[in-house]
Amino acid sequence: MYQHQHDPWGPLPNRSAGQLWALCLLSLPFLPVWWALILAVFLGFLAVGLVVEVLSVVIPPLEKGFERVMDRFVEAVPLVPAWCVSPGQVAHEGDAAYYQARVDKHVGRFLRDRSAHEIPVRIYRGIGAGYAVHAARARGWDLSHDRASDPLTVVRLRKLPVPA
């Protein structure tokens, strides 16, 4: 994705203003269409789920298979694609304090009642994946051993066991 000669766990290099504005202008009309497609697929899953619920009385393994398909879809399709850029990201490119606040807010909000979580690069870009891991460790989380993290795209976390 990016070719650079620095620590991948540190802040990523700043992008050019032209590139950011171009991505932002593409993102604004694209996101509502993307969300409408996700909603359409979700409604399709609901419709198929009703049929699967009825058929699972006759074919019990069908329900588990359908749940796996839904889980894979949720894991594979992001709510906001990685290339999308918001106007706020354009305004704060290179502002470490802004990204530090974003990481702290994200970690505080999303790491409550989960056993695993991913933090996308758009959250920690200006402060680095190392800070995202540090903030998560302060709240009882650590890097996942099951799924490897790529600091240039995503940090994957797991909840640490609570000592007895």
Length of the chain: 164
What's the farthest any 2 CA atoms get from each other in the chain? Answer: 59
**Are the C-beta atoms of residues 90 and 24 closer than 8 Å to each other?**
yes
Does the structure show a pLDDT above 70 at 77?
Answer: yes
**Are the C-beta atoms of residues 121 and 99 closer than 8 Å to each other?**
no
Higher pLDDT, 4 or 73: 73
Beta strands in the chain (DSSP E): 116-120, 141-143, 154-159
Least confident of 23-27, 62-66, 111-115, 156-160: 111-115
Tell me what percent of the residues of the chain surpass a pLDDT of 70: 94
Indicate the domain borders of the chain.
17-76, 94-159
Please state the rounded mean pLDDT for residues 132-144.
Answer: 91
pLDDT, residue 74, reads: 86
First to last CA, the chain: 43
pLDDT, residue 1, reads: 45
Among 39-43, 110-114, 144-148, top mean pLDDT goes to: 39-43
Compute the distance between CA of residue 107 and CA of residue 139 in angstroms, rounded to an integer: 8
